[in-house]
Amino acid sequence: MKAAVLERIAPIGSSPLSLREAPIPSPGPGEIRVRVRACAICRTDLHVIEGDLPPRKLPLIPGHQVVGVVDAAGEGAGRFPGGARVGIAWLARTCGVCAFCSAGKENLCESSRFTGYHRDGGFAEFAVVPERFAYRIPDAFGDAEAAPLLCAGIIGYRALARAELPPGGSLAIYGFGSSDHSVLQLALRRGAAAYVCTRGEAHRELAMAMGAAWAGEDPAGMPVRADSAILFAPVGELVPPALRALKKGGTLALAGIHMSDVPEMKYEECLFYEKNIRSVTSNTREDGEGLLREAAEIPLRPKVTTFPLEDANLALQRLKADKISGSGVLLV
């Protein structure tokens, strides 16, 4: 099969992914093999490729927002019939028995394994996943539209819950990439007013076109104090201004898997008056099912820019340079 393979940790500018032939994987017990149609890219792929996350497997096929059809099933796998359209997300396996798993917090399981990090992912013609961690894709979405929902959408959905946005409240969004414009649609559907802070002019224009009440570049220019905020940009320096822009009792959710250091900040300006900071770690399968259900009802429509698989390096380079509007998706 064709696959974009990471042989070594390196800056994406050096084009470290090589397109080559790789063995077609065989599904093990309880697993399904998926013939990949589309795989979205996100900043987590960059963190894996460039070593911001400690290497776990090399060589590695990255990619963890996979849409395709069931091609084969391992022993005991019968949840999906052959040809069913399914999605593969970041969370690929948990132990299922620890205190976290038993409490509905499987995203915190110490034995978690992740697609495109511990296991080969979707930058290839085929990918394998435990069937319990695959998602049925609603008919409301095409392949390219569905792919970004499987990480960007799910993480945005969980971040919105962690931010405790009140009904009809105000939400500040910092950054405006793949997760952000999914969150904007979810928030607007729930009756919220959204305020977007992002560097890119094209991103600001898109946010306004999608219904944001305000979009600007400078956090200090946020025209209101928000009930809730989500920081998607992996920039720790934005934490203090985001906290200052919250109402009393407001909550800031930090949605990145990797972030630069948070600078020193003044307690009274940033944290007093019962303001809250909450991190977001991966997701549960319940988050994934909830996101796909609500997204199909809206219907949520991710804006996508597509690339052929052989342009995986180029797509990720454009993502790092903030030159993709919406979500980048590799078509396989």
- Topology (CATH level 3) of domain 154-279: Rossmann fold (3.40.50)
- Does position 252 have pLDDT exceeding 80, yes or no? yes
CA of residue 286 relative to chain centroid, distance: 15
pLDDT band with cut points at 50, 70 and 90 for residue 257 = confident
What backbone torsions phi and psi does residue 306 show, to the nearest 5 degrees? -100, 150
Model pLDDT for residues 263-310, shown as the tens digit of each residue: 999 999 999 999 999 999 989 999 999 999 999 998 888 889 999 999
Q: What is the CA radius of gyration of the chain?
A: 19
Could you give the 3-state DSSP secondary structure of residue 277?
A: strand
Phi, psi of 126 (to 5 degrees): -140, 150
**pLDDT score for 112:** 96
Provide the pLDDT for residue 145. Answer: 93
Class (C level, CATH) for 2-151+282-331 = alpha beta
Given a cut of 90, whether residue 175 has pLDDT beyond it is no
Cα 151 off chain centre by:
3
Q: What is the structure's pLDDT at 256?
A: 80
Residue ranges of the domains in the chain? 2-151+282-331, 154-279
Tell me what the pLDDT averaged over the chain comes to: 94
Predicted local distance difference test score (pLDDT) of residue 91 = 96
- For 309-323, what is the mean pLDDT? 95
Report residue 322's pLDDT band, with 50, 70 and 90 as the boundaries. Answer: confident
Nearest-angstrom CA–CA distance, 93 and 205:
39
- Looking at residue 195, what is its pLDDT? 96
pTM listed for this prediction? 0.90
CA distances from 85 to 65, 73, 241 (A): 13, 14, 43
Chain segment 114-151, per-residue pLDDT in tens: 999 999 999 999 999 999 999 999 999 999 999 999 99
